[in-house]
Structure 1
Amino acid sequence: MKRLVIKVGSAVLREDTTLAINRLNNLVDFIAKLKEEKNLQVILVSSGAVAAGNTKLNLDRKKILNRQALAAIGQPLLMKYYKKRFAQHDIKCAQMLLVAEDFDSRKRSENAKAVMEILLENDIVPIINENDVIANEELLFGDNDQLGAHAAYFFDADMLAILSDIDGFYDSNPHENKDAKILKIVNSIDDEELQMKHTPNSEFATGGIVTKLKAANFLMKRNKKMYLTSGFDLKNAYDYLLYDNHNSGTIFQKEN
């Protein structure tokens, strides 16, 4: 593996009314390790702008214009923390704000790919978020799981790793069944599972397990892999992505 997209969700990056700085720091430390020890090019898809903005201004997040205003406040705050922490590892980072239309337009997607290659060739960590400040609802992905999947495909990554408040895909609902077990390998996803109701666990999240399954399905159809694990405790992410030991979390991979 040479190129990895890591997507981290809002639930991981927020703690009560503040940014979860410790978890953000742990994430950056992890990326620095991947770059240093595995010589990986890492693209980070980061949620958290709305949550970061809400720490400065309390608005009704159900209204899209309010969410866009909070994102406008929060995005530079988020980048400020990332920039500071990456600098401690002597790593530079850059911001890329994208919408769904950027991948639908051949000219725009080719331009984004060209910029991405320049950043990665110069050992810079691109940090992608959805440009939801100015885009209307029709142009939005609506959740960064889909953005992460598109980034992994269009930017030629070997894998998408989603670090979430969901630590894997279970054989049944773990909130309802205490005997539910994580499926370590998933080779196909049923249409019924893709049509389930979205159930994000955080008031700041826009996804849930369904958006992750849709992201996995998008990539599997294109012969790409996805890994889903916890972003709260990065032990399983270290085990698999750094040390090649798949102890937990779910790998979505089309059967050859």
Structure 2
Amino acid sequence: MKRIVVKVGSSVLTETTSIAKQRMLNLVGLIAEAREKYEVILVSSGAVAAGYTAVQLNRKVPTSKKVLASLGQPILMSSYKKLFDIYDVTISQILLTEEDFDSRVHTQIVQDIIERTLRNDILPIVNENDISTTPEQLFGDNDQLSAHVAHHTGADLLVILSDIDGYYDSNPQDNPNAIIRKTVKKIEDNELEQKHTPNSEFASGGIVTKLKAAKYMLDNGLEMFLCNGYDLSAARDYLLEGVHNKGTLFTTKK
């Protein structure tokens, strides 16, 4: 059975002051269905945004952001549990930092935990542990975290569900005629120097962090599929039907 990592961003999971229940239910349904075909690891953003649904603190203040994360993580996991219970899927929470991949010992611990979790038919839900850590210990965005999780757990594919349809040949906000690049085999250095443009105030990424994740995957001979998380039809077609209608596939394969 192939192994995949699915990463979902904050903007997909939350509205300004509430959990996006229907979008989360759609995601859970897709993952439950995908688990019949793949071993699935879910990397989920959304803790800070979920915390903000309870208490509106200023996330730009570092300590307040950590408080929001501490509030939001149980809200997020509780929401996931209620929805995955519908499909009789048992979940676990795994919080990681960049330091968990900086030595063989740390990495082996993560690998062993995830392997045993999957072996017992449990869905691991991974997020970055930004509550009791310093900026130097963090990736800073879950796009790159998910790429490292995919590589170090032997996944075949990383699927990033975002608020965009794929990787365009130019900025669609500036160019209405921008076209999605269906397949990308190489990422040039200048592409990684684009402006950092997350579309949500709670998102820590933007297209550049996704391209960095894609480059990491390509450099390790792995594939990444970038598509829309609001409308899961592209992800469903690709994962369950093997049809690439929409979205961008980053691959070194011919």
Q: TM-score, normalised by structure 1?
A: 0.97
C-alpha separation in 2, matches of 1:65 and 1:110? 31
Partner residue in 1 for 2:145: 147
Partner residue in 2 for 1:157: 155
C-alpha separation in 1, matches of 2:104 and 2:130? 21
Letter paired with 2:9: G
1:113-171 residue CA offsets vs partner (Å, 9 max, x unmatched): 00110000111100000000011111010000000000000111000000000110001
Partner residue in 2 for 1:29: 29
Matches within 5 A, 1:1-12: 2-12=2-12
Letter paired with 2:55: L
C-alpha separation in 2, matches of 1:241 and 1:66? 38
SS state at 2:113 partner: helix
C-alpha separation in 2, matches of 1:63 and 1:177? 34
Partner residue in 1 for 2:89: 91
Matches within 5 A, 1:218-237: 218-237=216-235
Matches within 5 A, 1:2-151: 2-36=2-36, 38=37, 40-151=38-149
Partner residue in 2 for 1:215: 213
C-alpha separation in 2, matches of 1:128 and 1:96? 5
Report the CA distance between 1:197 and its aligned residue.
2.1
C-alpha separation in 2, matches of 1:83 and 1:14? 16
Letter paired with 2:16: D
SS state at 1:45 partner: strand
Greater alpha carbon shift after TM alignment, 4-13 vs 61-70: 61-70
Letter paired with 1:64: P
Report the CA distance between 1:255 and its aligned residue.
4.4
Stretches of structure 2 lacking an aligned partner (at least 5 in a row): none
C-alpha separation in 1, matches of 2:121 and 2:112? 15
Identity of aligned residues (%): 55
Letter paired with 2:247: G
Letter paired with 1:235: S
Is the Cα–Cα contact under 8 Å of residues 147 and 217 in structure 2 kept in the other structure? Answer: yes
- Measured on the aligned residues, the alpha-carbon RMSD in Å equals 0.9
1:163-183 residue CA offsets vs partner (Å, 9 max, x unmatched): 000110001111111111100
Letter paired with 1:16: T
Partner residue in 1 for 2:167: 169
1:6-55 residue CA offsets vs partner (Å, 9 max, x unmatched): 0000010111211101111110000011112x2x1100000000000001
Is the Cα–Cα contact under 8 Å of residues 12 and 230 in structure 2 kept in the other structure? Answer: yes
Letter paired with 2:10: S
For this pair of structures, how many residues does the alignment match?
254
Report the CA distance between 1:92 and its aligned residue.
0.1
Letter paired with 1:156: G
SS state at 2:30 partner: helix
Letter paired with 1:102: D
Segments ≥4 residues shifted beyond 4 Å: none
